[in-house]
Structure 1
Amino acid sequence: MSAFSVRDAPFGQFCRLVLGPLVFLYPDEKAGFQYEAPEETPVEVPTPQANSSSTDTDADVEKAEPVSSLGQSKPGYQTVSWYGETDPENLQMWSLAKNIITFSQICLLTFSVYCGSAIITSAQPTFVEVFSVNVQESSLALSMYVLGYGIGPLFFSPLSEIPAVGRNIPYFVSFTLFIIITAVTSRVSNFAGLVVLRLIQGLLGGPVLATGGASAADILSFPKIPYETNADFILLNRAKRLRKSTGNENLRSDSEIKQGNIHFMSLLGGYLTTPFLVTMRDPSIAFINVYTGLIYGIFYSYFESFPIVYTQIHGFSMGIMGAIFLLLLRAGRYLALVKLHYEPYTYQNGIGSPEHRLLPAVFAALIAPCGILIFAWTSRDWINWVVPTIGIVLYMSCVFVITMCIFIYLPISYPRYAASLFAANSFLRSAVACAAIHFSQPLFTNLGIGKGCSVLAGLTWACFVGILVLWKYGDKLRARSTFAQVY
């Protein structure tokens, strides 16, 4: 791993904090570096109308900032930018090796958090026996964790969009605390304490689920998309170093100039409210969040039928039944569509309308209920277990395509607010999933597998109408938004 990669990791930043600029030097700290100052250009002073209110979101978003301009920037600043098109600190210029290392770490963190939710399900019968709770109460160990990883990103992910904070600090702080709480949870001896700690565990593990998508949008180049987000953090720190080395106090990053003399607490409050403001004021985002919440709730409810079908009807052990979840890997065939069709299309024609990315989801949403119905009405002891499993493969593949299309649509349409949007989306999805964990078991107990899954299939077909509306009229919904990127 290069010194460049180590320097930007928490270890490298800690070494620099302790030892100062003696180790892992930046290019502008090395001997012989000459900074070529750009020409001074006057900075437009915000009008009184733009500063009239600390909650004037319309004025904010016109400047691509999620908070209002409470302070005024002074004219004559020199903007610090990249050192040319091949600047190695530019996120879009990172080497393939660094992209792979960074993205792999994000995937590993995400995998760990999701494992933390599902890994406890096999212990629920033990909770019933040891803690003398009923089945619904034992499910709290799972549902509170799921709810927690929906709430956590609302606080940590918007912080990652503040240029002075960046992505690494929320990652490092939240996941370090997650590891500590996980160790504490393993030693708890009462059920109430377990449920509370599981909620906190989810709160601390959740930020990576939302911020990870924003980090991917930062580092993975997308043809002809203006890259934004947290290059601001790199340039802000570069401006600080250059002011120190050159003595020129007029050197400022673009984010410093835009934010002027806004107090940090006002800035913090603005960023923390961004997930709610965008969701409430943007019809397409509100629509997407409700839609994905419904999809996620159906998804979790569907899983609750697996033990009934494979252990009670077909006599599988819990271990063998768990292998059914490996069918999710087949959904990865969607990546072939991305590689063979969308990537060449984008390089040749540009990004086009973001709604173009939703077309596979339209077909997937139409087919997904068929998979549920196949599973529902072939789950009989006289029908081979392979037949309902085919329905699972069909449904899982379709849901994977739907979610991937939506998660691509969000950062393309709203690149500046990617982390906040994923945080709001994660919260609604997790809240619905938390409820689904508790209502799905009574659903299948009272209606049976056939009728219970048919209810889920009907809701899934309603979701098809939703994604069709978004594909057909998404551009009109975005046109009413003050947040969306215009293409």
Structure 2
Amino acid sequence: MTPCPSIGSNLEKSETPHQTPGTAGITCGQLESEGTAYLDGRNPSCLDQVILIDWYGADDPANPMNWSTWKKCRVHSTLYYVAASVYMSASIFSAAQTEVEQAFGVSPTVSSLGLALYVLAYGIGPMVFSPPSELPSVGRNIPYLISMGIFIIISIPTALAGNIESLLVLRFLQGFFGSPILATGGASLSDVSSNEFKPYALFMLAMFSLGGPALGTTIAGFSVPVLGWRWSLWVILLMGGPGFIFLLFLPETSAANILHRRAARLQALASKGVFVSKLEQNHDQITMINRLYKSLIVPWKLNVLDPSIAFTSIYCGLVYAIYYSFFEFFPLIYGDIYGMNLGQIGLVFLSVLIAVAIAFIPFGLFIRYVNNSENRGRPISPEGRLPPAMLASLLVPAGVFIFAWTARPDIHWIVPTLGTMLVSGNVVVVIQTIYVYITLAYPNYVASLFSGNGLIRSALAFAGVLWAHPLYNSMGVALGMTIIGCCCALCIIGIFYLYFYGARLRALSRFT
């Protein structure tokens, strides 16, 4: 690969390519303003060569990393809003479950499938939608728009469902088609965020992802008693519609797709030569079958063959299951024990937002410490990123025990709520810290790790929703939640073991 000589004028800003006597299209001198050009071969003529298109330079304005602050804010706000609305669509159903039971004559466990299947589906969806989003010719926005459009359309028959079977199937499809923004939203944020700012951006995404369900429960709590259970499903349409419109104006953030379109514009202007983006040349060596294999098979291999990865997936799934089980426990605890109505229960759930905001303060300070250490030439090992999760692993079971042992009529409702806040705020810290850890510890398998972790997390959350009612009815809240808290307490051993011996385990792993 040798650089193209004689670089000169700007092709893309002119309506027609500059013509050089004796040529029938673009000349070598017209390439540099379209990116760094290279020739495949030793022939110095650019006209008959494969020309690789790259960025103009470090300050290329088309590079998402160089976009203006306003443009980056558009990306962030759009992704935060859409993620919150999709997650809200999961929990908003929980306030309607009692009326669904009465309308269709089903048990509480069957009605809870409306939430459980939605959560399971948005763990399955990324296995299908994530691979195409990595293709240079597709990018991130097309999967967003197609899936979100179907999500909006499906929301109409869901709200009009005439029987429990169709309602549950449509709820599963809602979660499935709402999943791309949840799966690759973090990738889009990473496209426009520096390494220093990226942890903050991803924590904000997690904050909106947990805030959405809390807000959905509040909205449904006040609207369902007045307007009926179907109104909770119409709210999904009202919230998702603006999100789809925002996505129409979302700038494409995939560097591979931006360069692919730049090469296509050059190709249209030139009569000779083959223009290929530099990133696309690497992507073209990977077939869709390989991508699906990495998405559907490799995540399971990683979790089966590497104990460290298996533990991080199960632990994330367990704390996520506890969080989603609260949507089932809250009406039982605050309704049956404290006599609150659905609206008041929804207001209590807003404590999740406060908890996550408080948790961000120490987590943000730790990120700042890591960034400062990196800038001074003292890199932090993957295990060195685990202290926030180590502290959070102690606080999550503490919060579960507080909730379990104080949810009774003779103790004020604020006390179990403080336990809920301890759990929800530290669930975010655990998941975010583990995501950073596996990204750094297994850099060659990041996409597969996220897919596998997301699926296991959703599967355990699915179970968490379903176990809530039987657990409460058979054991009571104190004993039932104590068992769950003990499971979390056991995971403290795992997270501390990773901190002290993770490097040794990685050295023995076939995936590092």
How high is the TM-score relative to the length of structure 1?
A: 0.79
| 1:60-459 alignment runs, 5 A limit | 77-223=50-196, 230-259=254-283, 265-266=288-289, 268-270=291-293, 272-273=295-296, 275-276=299-300, 278-280=302-304, 283-330=307-354, 331-343=356-368, 345-350=370-375, 352-413=380-441, 418-459=446-487
CA distance in 2, matches of 1:182, 1:99: 30
Closer, same or farther: CA 78–469 of 1 in aligned 2, 3 Å: farther
Aligned to 1:18: none
Q: Any conservation in 2 of the 1:166–1:230 contact (CA below 8 Å)?
A: yes
1:29 partner SS: coil
- Deviation at residue 188 of structure 1 after TM alignment: 1.5
- Deviation at residue 482 of structure 1 after TM alignment: 6.5
Q: Any conservation in 1 of the 2:123–2:179 contact (CA below 8 Å)?
A: yes
CA distance in 2, matches of 1:349, 1:171: 34
Q: Any conservation in 2 of the 1:283–1:481 contact (CA below 8 Å)?
A: no
Aligned-partner residue type, residue 31 of structure 1: S
Closer, same or farther: CA 102–417 of 1 in aligned 2, 3 Å: farther
- Deviation at residue 99 of structure 1 after TM alignment: 1.2
Structure 1: where are the runs of 5+ without partners?
1-26, 44-74
CA distance in 2, matches of 1:445, 1:88: 60
2:62 partner SS: coil
Aligned-partner residue type, residue 313 of structure 1: I
Aligned to 1:31: 14
CA distance in 2, matches of 1:292, 1:339: 20
CA distance in 2, matches of 1:220, 1:166: 17
- Deviation at residue 224 of structure 1 after TM alignment: 11
CA distance in 1, matches of 2:113, 2:486: 27
- Deviation at residue 395 of structure 1 after TM alignment: 2.1
Bigger mean CA deviation after superposition, 148-157 or 340-349:
340-349
2:136 partner SS: coil
Structure 2: where are the runs of 5+ without partners?
1-9, 18-29, 43-47, 199-252
2:276 partner SS: strand
CA distance in 2, matches of 1:481, 1:246: 49
Task: Give the length in aligned residue pairs.
Answer: 423
- Deviation at residue 280 of structure 1 after TM alignment: 4.9
Q: Any conservation in 2 of the 1:213–1:422 contact (CA below 8 Å)?
A: no
Q: Any conservation in 2 of the 1:161–1:271 contact (CA below 8 Å)?
A: no
CA distance in 1, matches of 2:448, 2:157: 30
CA distance in 2, matches of 1:482, 1:296: 28
Alignment deviations for residues 233-290 of structure 1 (CA, whole Å, 9 cap, x no partner)? 222222222233234534322343335566x554554454454455456554333222
CA distance in 2, matches of 1:471, 1:134: 44
- Deviation at residue 167 of structure 1 after TM alignment: 0.8
Alignment deviations for residues 121-157 of structure 1 (CA, whole Å, 9 cap, x no partner)? 1211111111111111111211111111111111001
Q: Any conservation in 2 of the 1:301–1:440 contact (CA below 8 Å)?
A: yes
Aligned to 1:16: none
Alignment deviations for residues 330-376 of structure 1 (CA, whole Å, 9 cap, x no partner)? 22223323444423541442453233222111011012211111221
CA distance in 1, matches of 2:11, 2:499: 47
Alignment deviations for residues 77-124 of structure 1 (CA, whole Å, 9 cap, x no partner)? 443211011111212112111111101111111111111111111211
Closer, same or farther: CA 237–469 of 1 in aligned 2, 3 Å: farther
Bigger mean CA deviation after superposition, 467-476 or 207-216:
467-476
CA distance in 2, matches of 1:277, 1:213: 23
- Deviation at residue 428 of structure 1 after TM alignment: 1.1
Q: Any conservation in 1 of the 2:388–2:433 contact (CA below 8 Å)?
A: yes
Q: Any conservation in 1 of the 2:295–2:451 contact (CA below 8 Å)?
A: no
1:353 partner SS: coil
- Deviation at residue 410 of structure 1 after TM alignment: 4.2
CA distance in 2, matches of 1:373, 1:261: 52
Closer, same or farther: CA 193–181 of 1 in aligned 2, 3 Å: same
Aligned-partner residue type, residue 69 of structure 2: L
CA distance in 1, matches of 2:264, 2:195: 29
Give me the identity figure in percent: 39
Q: Any conservation in 1 of the 2:94–2:327 contact (CA below 8 Å)?
A: no
Closer, same or farther: CA 473–218 of 1 in aligned 2, 3 Å: farther
Q: Segments of 4+ in structure 1 off by > 6 A?
A: none
Closer, same or farther: CA 362–283 of 1 in aligned 2, 3 Å: same
